[in-house]
Amino acid sequence: MAVIDISFLGEDTLNAAKQLLGVEVITHIDGVETSGFITETEAYLGLNDRAAHTFGGKMTKKNEMMFNDFGHIYVYTMHGHHCMNILTKEREHPEGVLIRGIEPNHGIETMIDRRGREKGLTDGPGKLTKSLGIRRELHNGIELNNGILTLREGRTPREIEATKRIGIDNKAEATDYLYRFIVKGNPHVSRFRGKPLDNNGWK
């Protein structure tokens, strides 16, 4: 599969969050390739979104890498876990898409080693970064398609479902925004319940 044209990341963050579903994320770290198809994303709309780290345009040591053009990534840590965002738009609009779930494809044995378990490898933002080898101190601010982190054409969701963002519960009006997008019926997403759909919800 071909490396994708990432120019759509510069257009609109909500559309980017939806279009990223199904895209294959590949890392080449420690001499190993690991990859998976994106199943779950959340959009963070910067200046006007109370739930975003860049709400109001305030820059701190934590979020400074958000102030960059689309095609770079922002990695932050919380509770000892690393979470990865793909930046959208130009730096005057510090917006991005949090990758919350992927369906493992290549390098599953490496993911199991890195995670120290065989199940639940990539169904959460802190889990997938650990499986892929992404760490804030090494990868915060790097560009896509530079050899370490690559986006390739992947699969196509049959149906996209929109929900409230996970862990956002006291951010006034932003609490209820439907900015989380998942591949309907795919089990590799946060808090999955029920039975997977045919072909895990892919076309």
Partner DNA sequence: AATGGGATAAGCT
Partner DNA sequence: GCTTATCCCATTA
User: What is the DSSP annotation of 7-76?
Assistant: GGGGT-HHHHHHHTTTPEEEEEETTEEEEEEEEEEEEE-GGG-TTSTTGGG---TTTGGGSS-BTBEEEE
Burial of 172 (0-12, 13-18, 19+ CB in 10 A): exposed
- Under rule CB under 7 A, residue 13 binds DNA: no
CA atoms within 13 Å, Cβ hemisphere of 41: 24
User: How many C-beta neighbours within 10 Å does residue 43 have?
Assistant: 29
Binding-site member from 1, 92, 113, 120 for DNA (CB under 7 A): 120
The site map against DNA for 171-190 (x = CB under 7 A) is -------------------x
Within 71-110, the residues that bind DNA by CB under 7 A are 74, 77-81, 83, 85, 96, 98
Nearer to DNA, 191 or 203 (CB): 191
Binding DNA (rule: CB under 7 A), the pick from 72, 93, 114, 136 is: 136
Which of residues 7 and 170 has its CB atom nearest to DNA in the complex? 170
Q: For DNA, which residue of 117, 138, 146, 184 counts as binding (CB under 7 A)?
A: 117
Question: Which residue lies nearer to DNA by CB, 3 or 184?
Answer: 184
Instruction: Give Cα separations from 64 to 76, 87, 186, 188 (angstroms).
Output: 10, 12, 33, 30
Please identify, using beta-carbon distances, which residue of 63 and 150 lies nearer to DNA: 63
How far is the C-alpha of 95 from the C-alpha of 187, rounded, in Å? 27
Range in contact with DNA (rule: CB under 7 A) among 11-19, 23-31, 152-160, 164-172: 164-172
Distances (CA, A) of 11 to 58, 160, 183: 23, 20, 22
CB of 52 to DNA, least distance (A): 5
Element of type H or E holding 126? helix 125-132
> Smallest distance, Å, CB 55 to DNA?
9
Binding mask 21-40 for DNA (x = CB under 7 A): --------------------
For DNA, the binding residues (CB under 7 A) are 42, 44, 51-54, 58, 60-63, 66, 74, 77-81, 83, 85, 96, 98, 115, 117, 120, 124-127, 136, 165-168, 170, 190, 193
